[in-house]
Chains A and B, each alone.
Chain A
Amino acid sequence: DAKTTQPTSMDCAEGRAANLPCNHSTISGNEYVYWYRQIHSQGPQYIIHGLKNNETNEMASLIITEDRKSSTLILPHATLRDTAVYYCITQKTSYDKVIFGPGTSLSVIP
């Protein structure tokens, strides 16, 4: 079973920030939080990852709570192309097998 829980679906208005939450209350100290997204008919795409500190890249920001039991992926200005399923997973190393849950289906509304 996946070790994370996410809302099944979310809507976001185009141009607004999309905030996608994830619970990982059983995360261990050496596990990273990774986010992927999957656009229809494509393979999942890596977005961002973090251990303790907040992270930002050209795609998104990742906010991890101080107790590391939850995180939020932020897409600062959502576009229609951000409509996808977003997966939050925890992983010790990049060669651990990843257990995907059902993810959050994000719909960006014009």
Chain B
Amino acid sequence: GAGVSQSPRYKVAKRGQDVALRCDPISGHVSLFWYQQALGQGPEFLTYFQNEAQLDKSGLPSDRFFAERPEGSVSTLKIQRTQQEDSAVYLCASSLATPGTYGYTFGSGTRLTVV
């Protein structure tokens, strides 16, 4: 597709429920990133993939957060046993793995509300 697609656009989860957020990057983009954005804050890095390899997961806030990209294209961010503090917009971005090229292309995000 022409851009990065994220689904669902909005998700309401009851506390304790598991959720799965999907990201379809731009075709051919090797790098894929997940960010978490709380209201009024800048995006916070969660994790990074190069193809199917998860090279950096230092930003995942707890072991309830898990991300995968098994075939090097679509990625899923899973949050187990959701808590109210998980409420945020989750942004996915992809990029070419070439220095000095255009920056990330972000999706519109998934707004997760835990009630």
Do A102 and B42 have beta carbons less than 8 Å apart? yes
B18 interface hit (Cβ, 8 Å): no
Q: Most chain-B Cβ atoms within 10 A of its Cβ — which of A2, A46, A51, A92?
A: A46
Please report the number of residue pairs spanning A and B whose Cβ atoms sit closer than 8 angstroms. Answer: 73
A81 interface hit (Cβ, 8 Å): no
Do A95 and B97 have beta carbons less than 8 Å apart? yes
Do B102 and A98 have beta carbons less than 8 Å apart? no
Do A94 and B48 have beta carbons less than 8 Å apart? no
Q: Which residues of A contact B50 (CB under 8 A)?
A: 95
Stretch touching chain A among B60-68, B70-78, B79-87, B88-96:
B88-96
B contact residues, total (Cβ < 8 Å): 31
Q: Could you say which of B31, B43, B96, B97 contacts A100, with CB atoms under 8 Å apart?
A: B43
In which size bucket is the chain A interface? 20 to 34
Do B42 and A45 have beta carbons less than 8 Å apart? no
* Least CB distance, A83 to chain B, in whole angstroms: 16
Q: Mark A77-110, 1 if CB is under 8 A from B, else 0.
A: 0000000010100011111011111110000000
Q: Which residues of B contact A2 (CB under 8 A)?
A: 42
Binding site for B on A (CB under 8 A): 2, 32, 34, 36, 41-46, 49, 51, 85, 87, 91-95, 97-103
Binding site for A on B (CB under 8 A): 4, 30-31, 33, 35, 41-45, 48, 50, 56, 59, 91, 93, 95-109
Seed contacts A94-B99, A97-B33, A100-B44; 12 additional CB < 8 Å A-B pairs: A34-B103, A42-B109, A44-B104, A46-B102, A49-B100, A49-B103, A87-B42, A92-B99, A94-B100, A95-B50, A97-B48, A98-B104
Ordered by A's residue number, 22 sampled pairs between the chains whose C-beta atoms are within 8 Å are A36-B103, A42-B109, A43-B4, A43-B106, A44-B43, A44-B106, A45-B106, A46-B103, A49-B103, A91-B103, A92-B99, A93-B97, A94-B99, A94-B104, A95-B95, A97-B56, A97-B59, A99-B45, A100-B42, A100-B43, A102-B41, A103-B42
